[in-house]
Amino acid sequence: MISATPTTPATPVTPIKKICGSDNSFTFIFNVEKDHHGLRLDQFIKRFMGHKTSREFIKKKIKRGHIIIEASLKASLKASRMHQQSHFKQTFKASSTVLSNDQVKMTIFPSDSLYELEYEHWFNKNITIDTKPLTIHEDDNIIVTCKPPFMATYPTGRHSFNCVTVYYENQLKQNLHSIHRLDRETSGILILGKNPRVSHALSFCFEHSLVKKCYFLIAKIKIKDINQSIGNTPIKSLKSLFPLIAEERIGRSSSRMLMETYPKDSSEGKEAKTIFKFIDQIENYILLLAYPQTGRQHQIRVHAAAHGFPLVGDKIYGGNSSLFLRYKDKVTTTEDYLEMELPRQALHAIALNFPYNPHLNLSALPPAEKNSKNIKNILSNTKRVTYITPLPTDLRDWMLEKKIDLNLVAQQINFEL
């Protein structure tokens, strides 16, 4: 079972509302809860933005009036803070105190530093991240795109601009529907809907396991964990273990920082299933394709690690969850970087196969036919399409450094797909 040393994480700050401005800005509105009573304004915002965002960046935004406190009348009377009833009459500082029931507003602009909002580092130097997804297919109803690593699927937290949806919405000047998502570090294929009709049908496909998903991954071989999982196995004969079916249940750990695995017959966690297929092996590394049959959080990473194949670059499940905290707090050691080998987990969503009828309108079905069983039957008999994405540059470069034959890898992937 994968586990972490229990910790008591700081209570997160979560916005109650997000408003998109005409200038493409985002305004986040927060209620100050009891747990945050008495915090400095910069500390409060940092709990939302994350440790990667510098205090200097937050301090400048407060000074410019992009972060303000609007105290409730009740809180103001009790705390003698009538001067904060209107933010137009109050200049705030980083040291300003937030009180229970206060409302805090923060506006993020496209001109705000991408370095501060998307800060990623490698050997203590910031890395340049790709901000342009690759369009694989586009028609009047959907966009199939390949997301680069470190790009969010849609705006969340401090990741408000370097997002797939924001990128295409700015290009097309229309709202798009995010049908599914990938973790920010994971690269690969995504579908966006251009209208509610088709988006509804595709969302139903994802929710009812009608979409076939395939991921490419690079993992380290931890023979001790493999032997605990399936018995003593010589490292040279790992190909014989595949296809490998992982069916451990998955649930959130007590620390809430990561997910844990439980036996298949356990009552803990949720049912999960991943099928792994062998692509190649070199020294202590293995290249695999993963076919998730369920959609649990971090499922592929958790199942791979549970069977002795932690992903290269995985800061959480790579064997030492404290590494993630050091990376997050920007106190990563040289040993940490050497252990990671890549700035992000080596996981790429390489292909999707799904039913697609651009003319299907589920909303137009008679009421008696709008049940899940009938809709599933309709979609199951709909023509299926397959889209495959190229391997990302960072994973290709890593394989070239290890002298892995990329043509052989490509041939094997095409054969399996």
Question: Tokens 């705006």 identify what position?
Answer: 155
Token pair of 8 as six digits:
């008591």
pLDDT per position as a tens digit, 219-255: 999 876 665 555 555 666 688 899 999 999 999 887 6
Report how far residue 64's alpha carbon sits from residue 93's, in angstroms, rounded to the nearest whole number: 10
Report how far residue 350's alpha carbon sits from residue 277's, in angstroms, rounded to the nearest whole number: 14
Residues annotated as catalytic are 183
pLDDT per position as a tens digit, 319-341: 777 888 888 777 889 999 999 99
Report how far residue 19's alpha carbon sits from residue 13's, in angstroms, rounded to the nearest whole number: 17
Q: Give whole-number Cα distances, 43 to 99, 148, 214, 345, 381, in Å.
A: 13, 31, 41, 29, 54
pLDDT per position as a tens digit, 88-108: 446 799 999 999 999 999 988
Q: How many CB atoms lie within 10 A of CB 320?
A: 15
Q: Does residue 272 have a pLDDT over 50?
A: yes
Indicate whether this model's pTM tops 0.85: no
Alpha-carbon Rg for the chain, nearest whole angstrom, is 24
Q: How many CB atoms lie within 10 A of CB 54?
A: 16
Report how far residue 238's alpha carbon sits from residue 276's, in angstroms, rounded to the nearest whole number: 12
177-178 and 274-282 beta bridge pairing:
unpaired
Taking each helix axis from N to C terminus, what angle separates 41-49 and 55-63, rounded to the nearest 10 degrees? 120
| Residue extents of the structural domains in the chain | 17-112, 133-147+205-417
Instruction: Say if CB 26 and CB 160 are below 8 A apart.
Output: yes
CATH architecture for segment(s) 17-112:
Roll (3.10)
Q: Does residue 76 have a pLDDT over 60?
A: no
pLDDT per position as a tens digit, 21-57: 777 788 889 999 999 999 999 999 988 887 667 788 8
Report how far residue 27's alpha carbon sits from residue 220's, in angstroms, rounded to the nearest whole number: 42
Phi and psi at residue 71, to the nearest 5°: -75, 140
Edge-to-edge strand ranges of the sheet holding 67-70: 17-20, 26-31, 103-108, 67-70
CATH architecture for segment(s) 133-147+205-417:
2-Layer Sandwich (3.30)
Token pair of 3 as six digits:
């586990």
Q: How many CB atoms lie within 10 A of CB 9?
A: 9
Report how far residue 121's alpha carbon sits from residue 332's, in angstroms, rounded to the nearest whole number: 9
Instruction: Say if CB 390 and CB 146 are below 8 A apart.
Output: yes
Report how far residue 303's alpha carbon sits from residue 172's, in angstroms, rounded to the nearest whole number: 38
